Every structure is written in structure tokens, then in C-alpha cells.
Amino acid sequence: MSRKRVAILISGRGSNMAALIEAAKDESYPAEIALVVSNRPEAGGLLVARAAGIATETVDHATFGKNRSAFEGALQAVLEKHRIEIVCLAGFMRLLTAAFVNKWPQRLLNIHPALLPAFKGLDTHKRALEAGTETHGATVHFVVPEMDSGPIIIQGAVKVRPGDSEETLAARVLVVEHRIYPKALKLVAEGRVRVESGRCLIDGVPVPDASELLPM
């Protein structure tokens, strides 16, 4: 089976991008990272991608002003030019409209630094600490028009430790992110993920609820 052509969309340092690039170096991995796109020309991840020999493109949202559909049109054109089959958002800090998202049904993935549906949105680690949550983590999910709400493909949990700060907690969650994103992309690229009634089945089996996860 040919490897699926994947684009990773970033806005910043790109550590999740780097984890996906690393996983895809293995020839038996079912996806190849064909393209990295940033909406910010200064994103550090672009340098990392280029150093790894991966094609990069910048679609700078600032040059489109408030015209979201022009920005998304340019993004779509770049993805088509590179014959992309699956798109992974990895620290991509722009909301995508339904018009774009609906072009990529079950082919657009995102990683979120919390155990969804808990802590959608920004500042997840700060909010998890404030809420006194005992188990925190990260989620890879399919993107749907409603933010951080699509079917969950995989989750990874960490225990919150006494004395954790936002930074220490974020660092432990990031380790989990780097483990689960390559796993999730592999499952999707192998065609093992199906969505039924808004939930993912992996090889026909429902994804475990976050409450059943053992901390990594």
C-alpha cells in the first residue's frame, strides 16, 4: 500500500510536527510527511522541517486581513498542489471555518493538550490546575467545525503532581503528545479508524473513555 501524503500545519515551534516527522522516517510507517505549512513566516518549526528535507510553504494569514475564505482558499490550493491526502494540525493557532473543515472529512486531525471534552480552548494546563483535576493529558481528534469537539482518536493521560506548575505539567503532557500523535496518524493512514454516530471505532472497537485511561 502506498504511503499517505500528509501535510502538517503549524504556527510555532513544531515539536509535535517533529515527532510526526521522526515517526515517518521509518519506511514501514503508513504516512509520509510531504509538506509543512505555517501561517506565520517566523515559526521556528519551518526551520526544523527544512532541515529534515521536507517541503515547506507559508500562507501568512496577516496578508489576508479579515478575509478568512481567501486565507483558507490559499491554504487549500497549497495542499492540492502537493497532492495532500491527510492534514495534521500541530499547534496551528487559526480557527478553520466549516467551509474548509468540510473539505477534509475524517482526514483532518488535531492535537489538543487536555483530555477532551474537558478543557477545550486555550490555557488548558492553567485551567486544569485551577480546577484541581487529578488526571490531565492530551487528545488527538478529527476536526469538525465546532472547536475541539470532533471524534476522539486517541488520548494519553498524566497524573497531576502536588506542586505542579503550568510549565511542569505542560512538559509532561507534551511527552504524551509526542507519543500519541504518531500513533493516531498511523491508525488513520492505515484506514483502521471509522466514525459512527460521532465516535471513533478503531478496528471496530470504541476508543476508551478518558476516565478509563492509565496515566503514562
Which are the catalytic amino acids?
112
Q: Is 113 in the site for ligand GRF (CB under 6 A)?
A: yes
Q: Is 177 in the site for ligand GRF (CB under 6 A)?
A: yes
Q: Is 150 in the site for ligand GRF (CB under 6 A)?
A: no
Q: Which is nearer to ligand GRF, 14 or 30 (CB)?
A: 14
Minimum distance from CB of 159 to ligand GRF (Å)? 18
Binding letters toward ligand GRF, positions 79-98, x by CB under 6 A: -----------xx-------
Nearest CA among 61, 125, 128, 59 for reference residue 95 = 61
Compute the distance between CA of residue 63 and CA of residue 54 in angstroms, rounded to an integer.
Answer: 24
Q: Is 137 in the site for ligand GRF (CB under 6 A)?
A: no
Minimum distance from CB of 196 to ligand GRF (Å)? 26
Minimum distance from CB of 151 to ligand GRF (Å)? 17
Binds ligand GRF (CB under 6 A): choice among 5, 15, 82, 179: 15
Binds ligand GRF (CB under 6 A): choice among 34, 111, 184, 210: 111
Minimum distance from CB of 24 to ligand GRF (Å)? 15
Compute the distance between CA of residue 141 and CA of residue 183 in angstroms, rounded to an integer.
Answer: 12
Binds ligand GRF (CB under 6 A): choice among 4, 14, 36, 176: 14
Cis peptide, bond prior to residue 206, ω within 30 of zero: no
Minimum distance from CB of 67 to ligand GRF (Å)? 24
Nearest CA among 128, 116, 149, 138 for reference residue 182 = 138
Whether residue 114 contacts residue 128, with contact meaning beta carbons closer than 8 Å, is answered with: yes
Beta-sheet strands, E only, within the chain: 4-10, 31-38, 56-58, 86-89, 108-112, 135-142, 152-159, 193-196, 199-202, 205-206
Compute the distance between CA of residue 129 and CA of residue 116 in angstroms, rounded to an integer.
Answer: 15
Residue 38's alpha-carbon distances to 50, 54, 92, 210, in angstroms, are 12, 13, 8, 31
Q: Is 182 in the site for ligand GRF (CB under 6 A)?
A: no
Residue ranges binding ligand GRF (CB under 6 A): 10, 12-17, 90-91, 111-113, 174, 177
